[in-house]
Structure 1
């Protein structure tokens, strides 16, 4: 197992800088996920590790070796892309062995590696088929198998599930988690889907505008975000955000909640506004109240999500798991524990603690 270290890594396209001094350590055997919105630099950063993008500044080390300007083929990495990139005229076995043949690997050794990869990925029945006879999930497993047979130090995945439908994405997430557990390799995975990040990662790196916003274990980021951006990005449905007015050093008024309260975080000394956040599952609908109007109910079986309008016009989402579910058009009150509120500076968006 191999570690990956990035030190003050920078990427520029001419005068435009898209990655700003990234420092990151990925431990041996860790499943690290880069997550963030489109254009945040996550794929660029992954391609820099792979050697497919030139690094403008800083250092990239793999297994202690400085590979910043090393040829991609000599970095000890294998990359799986969003597109399967399989040769349509070759069988599954031939696609998986192509790189081995090009590198002059003996046939017996190549056959053994293909058999091992096929067993891990449950591709044994499909080795003689061509890609057109496979489902999307099976094709992606072939692409992963092609990476496995190379025996890389580090696996790199660039949004490998985004071309699959919802059911196949769930299936492949399970496959990838099982694969990581079985082979124990270091994996770095890029996605814009925070559900994928939460379910797969040992460590999540949240990126924003080419900078690391926060790094941590999935539930650590969920429970203890450092910024409003991380709080809003991690968690599904997203956190509800409201504007609160500071009334005193220990209390604030939250019009969207229809109350004045003392929060569990320090308020700024000067009177003004702060942003407060409350997750949908931390709110309970009160059918005896009438302060909020339900605009839409998304019924998903075991859980429903009520989309409501607050008295000040703020739009909110509330998770509803009760036996008697709310209905659109109904007026309700809200119950919540003030200790579940998170506060963020209105200007810097940093967490108030």
Structure 2
């Protein structure tokens, strides 16, 4: 195991800069997830750690050793890709042990490490099969097994579940989380799916346009986002945002035809702000301020999609036997202590 340290890391392609002075510390044995929208730089950053992309400026250390200019094979990392990249003519056992074989390791050592990886990943009964005889989830486990056999200091995962169906994605999330607990290795995982990030990570790194927006534990980011981008990206369904204006009595919210008093220090009267509210922190009540556009009934929970008279959109979580119906006119009850307030210009959170 080894920690990973990035210091003022920059990446340029010609005159185009895509990573902007990234500073990040990943502790030994930590499960760190890079998350963000497409094009934010998460895969580029992972490939820079792996040595598959050259680092233009800055420093990358693994286990305290500067690897910024070292070849990928010398960095002590193993990477699992979105595509399984298995050799179709080889058995599962041969695929997992191929890297060690090419590096001249004795057969007894290869067999021992393949056997241990197979035990961890529950692949014993598939060792003599070829990839064509495996399901997508089994192939991904073989790809992970190939990484385990190498005994790396750091595991790198680049959207490894993107090609799987919904049920297999859930199964493999559990498998990878279990693997992390069993072997205790440092793992860095890239995904665009914030549900994966929330359920698997010790630490989440939220990226946007080549910059880190916020780093923290999953619930910390969920409960205490630093800006509107993080607040909207973390959480499913995403946070609701409504325009407001600071008044002498709090914040006037035209969309809800009311004034609220959030538990924060407000700026000067007349300042435009954005209010953030999670769907589960709102509740439907009698009223005539919003229209129900659609209700998604998911069993124990439903989501009502609402439109204000100012054409702003709101999602409300509903539980219990009474649910809203399309076309209903309703009101909303809001807990002021749950409201987040963001500066309308900078989008930074006010506290």
1:211 is aligned to 2:211? yes
Alignment partner of 2:323 out of 316, 325, 335 = 325
TM score, norm. by length of structure 2: 0.99
Q: Deviations over 1:74-125 (max 9, x none)?
A: 0000000000000111110111011010011110110010010001001111
Alignment correspondent of 2:314? 316
In the alignment, the residues of structure 2 paired with residue 266 and residue 237 of structure 1 have an alpha-carbon distance, to the nearest angstrom, of: 27
Pairwise mapping of residues 179-194 of structure 1 onto structure 2 (< 5 A)? 179-194=179-194
Question: Are the aligned partners of 2:34 and 2:206 in contact in 1 as well (CA < 8 Å)?
Answer: yes
> C-alpha displacement at 1:330, in angstroms?
1.4
1:144 is aligned to 2:144? yes
1:55 is aligned to 2:24? no
Q: Deviations over 1:39-84 (max 9, x none)?
A: 1000000000000000000000000000000010000000000000
Alignment correspondent of 1:274? 273
Alignment correspondent of 2:289? 291
Alignment correspondent of 1:11? 11
* Farther off after superposition, 321-330 or 41-50: 321-330
Q: Deviations over 1:202-224 (max 9, x none)?
A: 00000011000000000000000
In the alignment, the residues of structure 2 paired with residue 281 and residue 128 of structure 1 have an alpha-carbon distance, to the nearest angstrom, of: 50
Structure 1 regions of 5+ residues with no counterpart?
none
1:118 is aligned to 2:91? no
> C-alpha displacement at 1:270, in angstroms?
5.1
Alignment correspondent of 2:347? 349
In the alignment, the residues of structure 1 paired with residue 222 and residue 136 of structure 2 have an alpha-carbon distance, to the nearest angstrom, of: 32
Question: Are the aligned partners of 2:300 and 2:320 in contact in 1 as well (CA < 8 Å)?
Answer: no
Secondary structure of 1:290's match?
Answer: strand
1:256 is aligned to 2:255? yes
Alignment correspondent of 1:177? 177
Alignment correspondent of 1:69? 69
Q: Deviations over 1:271-290 (max 9, x none)?
A: 2310110000000111x222
TM score, norm. by length of structure 1: 0.98
In the alignment, the residues of structure 1 paired with residue 319 and residue 204 of structure 2 have an alpha-carbon distance, to the nearest angstrom, of: 29
How many residues matched?
A: 351
Across the aligned residues of Structure 1 and Structure 2, the Cα RMSD in angstroms comes to 0.8
Question: Are the aligned partners of 2:8 and 2:59 in contact in 1 as well (CA < 8 Å)?
Answer: yes
Structure 2 regions of 5+ residues with no counterpart?
none
In the alignment, the residues of structure 2 paired with residue 126 and residue 256 of structure 1 have an alpha-carbon distance, to the nearest angstrom, of: 59
After TM superposition, where is structure 1 displaced by more than 4 Å over at least 4 residues in a row?
none
In the alignment, the residues of structure 2 paired with residue 58 and residue 154 of structure 1 have an alpha-carbon distance, to the nearest angstrom, of: 20
Secondary structure of 2:288's match?
Answer: coil
In the alignment, the residues of structure 1 paired with residue 335 and residue 142 of structure 2 have an alpha-carbon distance, to the nearest angstrom, of: 49
Q: Deviations over 1:5-27 (max 9, x none)?
A: 00000000001000000000000
* Farther off after superposition, 134-143 or 318-327: 318-327
